[in-house]
Amino acid sequence: MNVAEFSALVFLAALVAGFLGALTGLGGGVVIVPVLSLLFGVDMRYAIGASLIAVIATSSGSAAAYVKDGYSNIRVGMFLEIATVLGALSGALVAVHISLSVLAIVFGVVLLYSAYISARKQPEFPATESPDRIATLLKLGGTFPTPQGLRSYNVQGVPAGFSLMFGAGILSGLLGIGSGAVKVIAMDRAMHLPFKVSTTTSNFMIGVTAAASAGIYLSRGYIDPILTMPVMLGVLTGALAGTKVLTKVRVGPLRILFGIVVAFLALEMMYNGFTGRF
Amino acid sequence: MKPKHNWADDQMRVEGIIGTLLRTGVLVAAAIVLAGGVLYLAGHPTARPSYHQFNSEPAEFRSVMGIFRDAIALHSLGLIQLGILFLIATPISRVAFTVFAFAEERDWMYVSITLVVLALLLYSVFARH
């Protein structure tokens, strides 16, 4: 296979990943590493480097659309970015000392968990609870638009949310993914932010988290221009198209299909990790 | 006396600027990467890429200065790396812009929080790892 054919195939795969990722809310980045390493035989380190760049592109692209809707909470995002960025730096720095087999197994577990989380219905917490002390000190509460006008909410469980975010950062730096599922859990379950607020704020944060690890991966030589080019352009185009048709198609069946594909990739990653094929 | 600031209006304005900043950054980065990619494919139609084995990228693709030197010389791969660098810089410049937005609101606590995040990001991109 010459470089033009290779780039075209990778571009197509990334396009589909980005499209389905945007439609299902899982994000395209989460399948880039398994697709590149399992289907194209790319070394996991190059795959992780390319995936991080794809994650920054999709997150920044879609955050640009969401941020104007007034859902994302910039204070919550910026405060928690201390945790995710520290986590991402730690994850990226220790990644070189971890064997690829172990990375593949961890990747499989995280992938399965993300698929499970996105398939489940999210409970909504009442937005009128009184805030905890730290949340008040940090002015984390906010408002979001509803058909009945602006609704205000308070924030709970700041230490738990902050710790979970550190974990999300580590996974992002280790595996080259956005860790959107863990971020949403931290804001939704631990801090009781309204679901729309936690998903858009998470999206907002993913690009910053990924940029923190991308710097380290770039200087370590994990980001290859020829491989990253079709991955970045494909995922970005797919994600933009996915966001465009999101309101026009029924995503239910697609979501299940994508969930099955993700679960299959997760098991294959774990199998290859256990049999030491990386 | 200055009229009282409408915080919600400020918030909307800031979010509008951030949205434009992010969109422009991503599009410019994608355009540079695409230009470099087309240039590379046109110049090396029969090259055979191999990623089964990991060999770290050459030093010129690993540092900000090296990438700039290559891109200015219009080397195709250097251009792609420059686009990638531009993309990494997009969320970082969003954080830098947020410092000013909080400073305008005189929210010094959040100016400090944002500066910590910015410092960590700059360390990641400019330090040798």
Cα distance between residue A59 and residue A183, in whole Å: 13
Cα distance between residue A183 and residue A203, in whole Å: 9
Q: Each residue of A38-76: pLDDT tens digit?
A: 999 999 999 999 999 999 998 887 777 776 677 889 899
Taking alpha carbons only, the member of A161, A18, A14, A153 closest to residue A77 is: A161
CB-CB under 8 Å, B95 with A89: no
Pairing assessment for the beta strands A142-146 and A149-153 based on DSSP bridges? antiparallel
Q: Which two tokens stand for residue A55?
A: 């994650």
Per-residue confidence (pLDDT) for residue A144, from 0 to 100: 84
- Using a CB-CB cut-off of 8 Å, the residues of chain B touching A64 are 18-20, 22-23, 26
Interface of A with B in 136-155 (CB under 8 A): 138-139, 143
**pTM, 2 dp:** 0.91
In the chain, the amino acid numbered A51 is: S
Interface of A with B in 101-120 (CB under 8 A): none
Residue A203 Cα to chain centre, angstroms: 8
- Using a CB-CB cut-off of 8 Å, the residues of chain B touching A65 are 19
Helix-helix angle A74-95:B76-104, to 10 degrees: 140
In the chain, the amino acid numbered A234 is: G
Backbone phi and psi for residue A226, each to the nearest 5 degrees, phi listed first: -70, -35
Strand, helix or coil for residue A247: coil
CB-CB under 8 Å, B36 with A93: no
Interface of B with A in 18-47 (CB under 8 A): 18-20, 22-23, 25-26, 29-30, 33-34, 36-37, 40-41, 44-47
DSSP string for residues in A5-55:
HHHHHHHHHHHHHHHHHHHHSS-THHHHHHIIIIIS---HHHHHHHHHHHH
Q: Each residue of A162-211: pLDDT tens digit?
A: 999 999 999 999 999 988 888 888 888 889 888 888 888 888 899 999 99
Q: Each residue of B26-82: pLDDT tens digit?
A: 999 999 999 999 999 998 888 887 888 888 888 888 888 888 888 887 889 999 999
Q: Each residue of A89-106: pLDDT tens digit?
A: 999 999 989 999 999 999
Contact A48/B at CB under 8 A: no
CB-CB under 8 Å, B22 with A63: yes
Per-residue confidence (pLDDT) for residue A77, from 0 to 100: 94
| Contact between A87 and A169 (Cβ < 8 Å) | yes
| Contact between A90 and A170 (Cβ < 8 Å) | yes
Distance from CA of A256 to the nearest CA of B (A): 30
